[in-house]
Structure 1
C-alpha cells in the first residue's frame, strides 16, 4: 500500500509538496492507515535524533527493552538514537565468560560474548524490526566502574570505517560512535587515559558533567523544606571547568550532557568563545521544571543532575535562545513506579522523555516566544544528527534530485523511487496541535514522568525511515 500526504509543508523552505511512501506491514500504527491524507497545515522535517537514551537492554528489561524503547522513540518522532553504555553488563567491549553474572545470560544465550555484538545483532537475535536507527556508546571505564579505562583495541572494530569488509550489515548499521561513563563523570584517575583513547579513536567524549557523593536533590529552600540532603550547584561546574581545561590541553571534543546551571552555561559560553571543541545539551525537564516541582511530583521529579532553582531554569532557556546549547536530548531513563516510590534517598534518578519531549519543548520554548518552530527542529533533529556523525535528511535536495522540471502544482517526493534510501529519516509534525500527556498511552514500558496530565503543544504524527512509515498516528 502506498500512502500520499498531500500539501505538506517543508520545514525550512515553506514549500508545499506531496509525499509518497510505502506503508510497511511492520509499522507501528495507532489508527487505520489511509492511502490519501490531507496534510495541509502539517510540517515535514528531518527526523528527531537523541544522543542520550537508556534502553536497559540487556540486564534490566523489566524497565525497558530495545523493542519498547525504540517504539517510544518512534512515537516521539525520533529516527535516530544513541544508546548509553550503562547496560548490565556494561557496554565496555570486554568479553563475557560467566553466564550467571547479571544480564550476561541474555547475551551469551544468544550466542554472543559481548554486549556490543549482541545489541548490533538484536533484530536478528529476536526476529524483530526496530522502528528506529540506533548507534552505540562504549564505556569510558571497564565495567563503568571508574577504576580502569577501557582498551581501544577491545572496541575499535565496532567503530564506523573500521574493518568494513569484515562486518555484516547489522554491525555496519549500529556502530560505536561515542565514549561515555554516563550516569557518572569520568573519574580523575583515568581522565587522561580516557581522553587519550578518545583522541586515538577519533570519537568524542560524552561527559556526565556532575558528581556528588552525598545529597539527593538540589541544595536550597526546597531541599530544606523536604528535609532531604542537598546537592550544591557547583558539583556540575566542577566537572565542566575540569574538562574545559583538559580540552584546552588536548583538543579532544567533549560533549557535556544535561547541563542545568547558570554557572556551567557561563563557563561553556566562554569556552566556546575561545574556540574550544565543546558542545552541550540540556533536557526538556530542565527548561520546564525547577526544584519546586519536587513539592508537587515527589520522586517522579528526582533526577541527576537534580532539578535546579527557578533562576537556573531561566538561565537554561537563555542559553538555548542565545545558542550556547547545541541541542536538546531527553536522557530517557526508564524505572518502575515501585522503584520511584522508595523515597528521595532510595529512589533511582531519572525520567522517561522520548514520547513527550517535542510537546513539552514546543510549549515552553516556542509558545513562550523564546525560539521559532524552525529552531526547535534544529535543536532536536539536525544538530544532534551532526553530533552523532550522520547527515540530516535534506528534503529539498531529495526533491531537486527527483524532479525533471517544475511542472504544475506541488512537487512530489516519492520515497519509493529513491535507490539508496536507508539514511532517510523524516518526521511529520502538527506544530499547532494541543494535547494532554497520558503516560498510560506511552509505548515505553515505563511510566516515570512528572509530565502526566500536562497540556502541551506540537505533536509528531508520523515517523518515516527509508521508504516506509515506521510509526503513524495520522
Structure 2
C-alpha cells in the first residue's frame, strides 16, 4: 500500500491523502530506489487524471529493433501516460487485411496464430505472456497497405470496433474489448484525393473519426527558408500543410465527419482551424512539444535528430503555435512518438527518417516552455495532455474531485482510497511534481530508441507515478 500524504488535487487545489492499496505486480516497474509502499510526504505533488497520447508509433510488428510494444508501453507509463493510440504504419500496415506469408513482418503475426495485424496487437499480451503497463487503442489505415491507392475495406476491420460503433453484436474476448479500433488514418501521409470521399464515407458509416496527417509533399526535407538554403537541402513550403487542412475543413463542412488534424505546425493552418471552429465545424487539432520548443534554426544545432514531418517551422510559426495553444485553438498535445535507430538518423537530411521520440520528456518540455514561459497554467497543461486527448479517444478521464464526491474544498483533510470507489478499474492517475527540475537523459529512457534532440535539456515538471485501474504500474517516487 502506498499512501501519499498532503497531495494536491489538480483542478480544485484541495489537499488530500491518496491511498493506492495495490500494485499491479505483473505490470509494475520502477526506477532505482523508487517507493512502492509505505507512507510518503507528498506535499507539493499533484494528482491528476492520467495522460493520453492520441499519436504514437510502436514499430511492432515489423520493426521491433526500433521499438516494441513492451518498450513503447513502458515509455508511456514512465511519461505519465495511461492511454495511447497506436498509429497504423506497422509492418505490415494495420489495414485489417490478412497478411501474406513472406512479406515483411508477416512471420511475427502468422507465427502467433493470427492473420491480421489488428488481431495480433489486440492479443499481444496473450501472445507474449506479458502484461503491458498502459492501455491502448488501435488506429486502422485509411488505405490498403497505407499506400494511398485504394481505401481500406471496412468489412476487414468493422468487427474490431467498439461495440457501440457496430450494427451487429460480435463476440469479443477481453483483449479485443480492451484494445479496439477507434480511429482511421494514413498517418505519415495525408489521405490521397482519389480515395478521400470513400474514406470519409467509411468513417461516417462506422462512427469513427479521421486522424489526418495534414501535409503532403513529394520533395523536400526541412522547412523552406533560410535554414534550408544554409544546409543546402530542398525545402518544404508551409502551404503544403494548409492545403490539406483547407481541403479537409471543406469536407468536414460538407459531410459532418469529425476530422482531427495531427501535429499542426504553421500560423496559416492555425488561422484556418480557428476560423473553422468559429463556424462550428467538427474539427479538432493537436500539436507536439517539439513544435513549441524548437524551430528550424535548431536544425543547425541538432541536425537530423530534429528532422521530422511536418518539419520544424520558422521561429514565427513556433510563436504562432504557442499562441494557438494559449487561445484554445489547439485542443491537445500529442508526442508523435517515432522511434528510429541513431544509425538511421545519421544518414543525412535527405535520407534520414523523420521523427523523434517524446513520451518520456513531453510533460517536462511542455511545462518548461508553456507554464514556466507564462503562456498557460498547470491546470491548462493537464487539460491539453489528459482531458482533451482522453475524450477524443472516447475515454472518460478520471474525475479525482468527483471521486471525493465534491469539487469544493473542505476544512478537514479527506482521504481518497482508490480501491473504495464505485469502479476502481476505471481510475487512471498520474502523480506529478510540477516544480521538479531535471535533466533529460535519453540513455535513461525506457524506450528502446534514443532519437531525441532534447538530451541534456534542463526542464521542469515530471511524472512521478502512474496508476492504472487503481493499481500502481510505475513509480519514481523517492
State the match for 1:88 in structure 2.
91
State the match for 2:144 in structure 1.
142
Deviation for aligned residue 1:164: 5.5
Query: Does the 8 A contact of 2:88 with 2:95 survive in 1?
Result: yes
Uncovered stretches (5+) of structure 1, i.e. residues with no partner: none
Local SS of the residue matching 1:400 = coil
Is 1:118 paired with 2:120?
yes
Superposed, which structure 2 residues align to 1:25-174 within 5 Å?
A: 25-26=25-26, 27-30=28-31, 31-33=33-35, 34-98=37-101, 100-161=102-163, 162=166, 166-174=171-179
State the match for 2:10 in structure 1.
11
Is 1:434 paired with 2:433?
no
Superposed, which structure 2 residues align to 1:235-246 within 5 Å?
A: 235-246=240-251
CA distance in 2, matches of 1:356, 1:164: 41
State the match for 1:382 in structure 2.
387
Deviation for aligned residue 1:7: 0.9
**What are the Cα deviations for residues 110-169 of structure 1, in whole angstroms up to 9, with x where unaligned?**
000000011011111111111100000000000000000011111111111145661011
Deviation for aligned residue 1:96: 1.8
Deviation for aligned residue 1:222: 0.2
Query: Does the 8 A contact of 1:84 with 1:182 survive in 2?
Result: yes
CA distance in 2, matches of 1:32, 1:86: 35
Deviation for aligned residue 1:20: 1.0
Query: Does the 8 A contact of 2:159 with 2:170 survive in 1?
Result: no
**What are the Cα deviations for residues 372-420 of structure 1, in whole angstroms up to 9, with x where unaligned?**
100000000000001001100001111229x9xx998421111122353
CA distance in 2, matches of 1:48, 1:286: 19
Superposed, which structure 2 residues align to 1:233-382 within 5 Å?
A: 233-382=238-387
Q: Which moved more, 1:158-167 or 1:317-326?
A: 158-167
State the match for 1:468 in structure 2.
471
Query: Does the 8 A contact of 1:158 with 1:175 survive in 2?
Result: yes
Local SS of the residue matching 1:422 = helix
Q: Which moved more, 1:450-459 or 1:417-426?
A: 417-426
Q: Note closer, same or farther for the CA distance 1:408–1:255 as it changes in structure 2 (3 Å cut).
A: closer
Deviation for aligned residue 1:422: 2.2
Query: Does the 8 A contact of 1:282 with 1:329 survive in 2?
Result: yes
CA distance in 2, matches of 1:399, 1:92: 43
Q: How large is the RMSD of aligned CA atoms in angstroms?
A: 1.4
State the match for 1:421 in structure 2.
424
Query: Does the 8 A contact of 2:464 with 2:475 survive in 1?
Result: yes
Query: Does the 8 A contact of 1:63 with 1:335 survive in 2?
Result: yes
CA distance in 2, matches of 1:367, 1:164: 50
Deviation for aligned residue 1:331: 0.2
Q: How many residues align?
A: 469
Q: Note closer, same or farther for the CA distance 1:184–1:37 as it changes in structure 2 (3 Å cut).
A: same
CA distance in 1, matches of 2:172, 2:383: 33
CA distance in 2, matches of 1:189, 1:209: 16
Local SS of the residue matching 1:461 = strand
CA distance in 1, matches of 2:295, 2:325: 16
Local SS of the residue matching 2:328 = coil
Local SS of the residue matching 1:57 = coil
CA distance in 1, matches of 2:416, 2:158: 39
Local SS of the residue matching 2:430 = strand
**What are the Cα deviations for residues 337-380 of structure 1, in whole angstroms up to 9, with x where unaligned?**
00000000000000000000000000000000000100000000
State the match for 2:221 in structure 1.
216
CA distance in 2, matches of 1:368, 1:462: 25
**What are the Cα deviations for residues 218-277 of structure 1, in whole angstroms up to 9, with x where unaligned?**
000000000000000000001001111111111100000000000000011111111100
Query: Does the 8 A contact of 2:287 with 2:334 survive in 1?
Result: yes
CA distance in 1, matches of 2:121, 2:89: 13
Query: Does the 8 A contact of 1:247 with 1:277 survive in 2?
Result: yes
CA distance in 2, matches of 1:133, 1:415: 18
| TM superposition score normalised by structure 2 | 0.96
| TM superposition score normalised by structure 1 | 0.97
State the match for 2:23 in structure 1.
23
Local SS of the residue matching 1:58 = coil
Uncovered stretches (5+) of structure 2, i.e. residues with no partner: none
